[in-house]
Amino acid sequence: MPVARFDAAGKLAVDEALQRGEAVVLPTPSPLAYVIAGKTAAAVNRARGRPHNYPVATWEPRLDRLAPHLALDEAERRRLGWLLAVERVTALVPQTRDVAAPSWLEPAASYGMALLFGVTWEPIAWLLERHAPLFVSSANRAGALPAVDLRQAVAAFGPEVWVLDGDALRERARPHASTTTLRFVPGRGWEMHRRGIQDSLHATAGRSDYLADVLARADAALHRKPLPRRQDGRGGRPLRRSRSSDRDGPGLGRPPRARPEAS
């Protein structure tokens, strides 16, 4: 069974699998689930049993490579960078129309929006430095729940897919799930697109409105502003969300519907 340990031999096995064009299952930091990644979207989709052109996310931690292809101003680009690298959400953001999308972004794009996964984590930094941008999706067969540990990852993919065993580096007693997905809609700002582990843990802690909280934390970190007083319990503004699937990893779904401007 192709399980790679976090040693020189395991890293070499995963590296060579990616170089051969195969998809590999990788751990991400708690409380996120495992993911499946590859140098092509087709490899990821083939491993998951989906059509080869099914949309996936682009995994590119270097914001400077993403920025020219995103229709965001400087303030929102900085906020996006914090959301991806620190909060570790997935983001659905508008693409520029006057700059052709590179090949490593096209499989993550639909309806003029790009799906971005920007998680950075020291144990897999070597892999991202060598192979990013990668294409990534949740580590499960279509319709099943994402794998949250080595046992589930191996059971999901069998002997044809290498799995990098990161269980010893994760807090296994904690709940784990796929990331929350936020989207940026021009003229409206950031919205909830798909529920995930970040907003779930926020709700479990009895806090209201994850979106308002995460944006306030982003702005406080970027501009060194004091955080507003949190509203606990059930008060506060309700979450905005789409009807995207909450089971099969972050989805692009349909383009956001325009809302009438206030008069």
Q: How confident is the model at residue 28 (pLDDT cuts 50, 70, 90)?
A: very high
Q: How confident is the model at residue 54 (pLDDT cuts 50, 70, 90)?
A: very high
For 65, residues 6+ apart whose C-beta sits below 8 A from its C-beta are 133
Write down all domains in the chain, each with its CATH number in brackets: 3-193 (3.90.870.10)
179-202 pLDDT, tens digit each: 999 999 999 999 999 999 999 999
Q: Is the pLDDT of residue 257 over 50?
A: no
**Tokens standing for residue 227:** 């955080």
Euclidean distance between CA atoms 153 and 151, whole angstroms: 5
Q: How confident is the model at residue 229 (pLDDT cuts 50, 70, 90)?
A: low
For 217, residues 6+ apart whose C-beta sits below 8 A from its C-beta are 87, 227
The reported pLDDT for the residue numbered 240 is: 42
The reported pLDDT for the residue numbered 223 is: 87
Q: Which of 44, 180, 58 is nearest to 114 (CA)?
A: 58
Q: Which of 243, 136, 237 is nearest to 183 (CA)?
A: 243
